[in-house]
Amino acid sequence: MKFVKRFTLVSTLALMLNACSGADISHNLGSVKDSLFSVGSIFTPTVSERYKASLKKKKINDNDDEDSSDDSQNAVLECPRIEYIEELSIVDKYVDNNEPHPDGLEYTANIAHFESSCRVLPDENKADIEIYIRFYAELGDAGRFKPDDAVSVSHPYFIATLDKDNNIINKQVETLSMEYGAKEDQITKLEKIKYVMPYDAAQNPKDYRVVMGFILTKSQIKNNRRDYQF
């Protein structure tokens, strides 16, 4: 099975990503303070000196504005890193997640692979992202009431934006629907997700991360850490 580059975040972040709903997310990027320039003197300036000083200050400020404008125009706005969180990339659903047993497994699913495309829109302070996610899913022994039953199950997953301090600034919830025929126990499914990543105008989109994973309970996260090596 081919995996793309992944990373593991701290436990607190994993729990936050699972606990937060769309209403809980706010744009909390902070503000950028303007730099100030001041001209000081150890003597009391005359009118002429004050006039010369004001011209000098204006010239310096104009140059600073030009430099800042040039830097802003010359800055290359790059797309963010797009990854999935390892310990949230697998979901095992048991009849009782608090006391999991192999015979009680209803279904399991994982993020097998993904590819993405991105376009930064600086005039709108956002990045338009498309993500193609391939899921692999398997029905467990407890997934059917009768051997010949067709089964339909679903499980939520998320796409979220993190800033450089791992603050969650945006989150989108999707649902993975898994349809099993009467004689079918394993499926793969390709999902196409459109996601808009907002970013602070003072920041470069490359300083953000877009992450994905299943929405899990605390017990499921604990089971993943116990059962899999990340």
pLDDT at 74: 52
Q: In terms of domains, do 182 and 97 share one?
A: yes
**Is 5 within a domain?**
no
85 falls within a domain: yes
Domain range spanning residue 109?
11-28+80-227
Query: Picking from 11-20, 175-184, 186-195, 209-218, which range would have the lowest pLDDT averaged per residue?
Result: 11-20
Do 55 and 105 belong together in one domain? no
89/184 same-domain check? yes
One domain for residues 149 and 208: yes
Whether residues 115 and 184 share a domain: the answer is: yes
Instruction: Look at residue 110 in the predicted model and tell me its pLDDT.
Output: 97
Average pLDDT over residues 45-64: 50
Within a domain: 199: yes
The overall average pLDDT reported for the chain is 78
Same domain, yes or no: 17 and 129: yes
Residue 155: name the closest of 167, 146, 143, 147 by CA. 143
Position 35 pLDDT exceeds 70: no
101 and 145, same domain (yes or no)? yes
Share of the chain above pLDDT 70, in %: 68
Inform me whether the pLDDT recorded for 215 exceeds 90: yes
Which range (35-44, 59-68, 116-125, 159-168) has the least confidence?
35-44
Query: Regarding predicted confidence, which is higher, 50 or 67?
Result: 67
Q: What is the mean pLDDT of residues 99-117?
A: 95
Its pTM stands at 0.70
| Cα–Cα distance, 145 to 50 (Å, whole number) | 89
15 and 57 in a common domain: no
Pair (45, 88) in one structural domain: no
166-169-170-176 Cα dihedral, nearest 10 degrees: 20
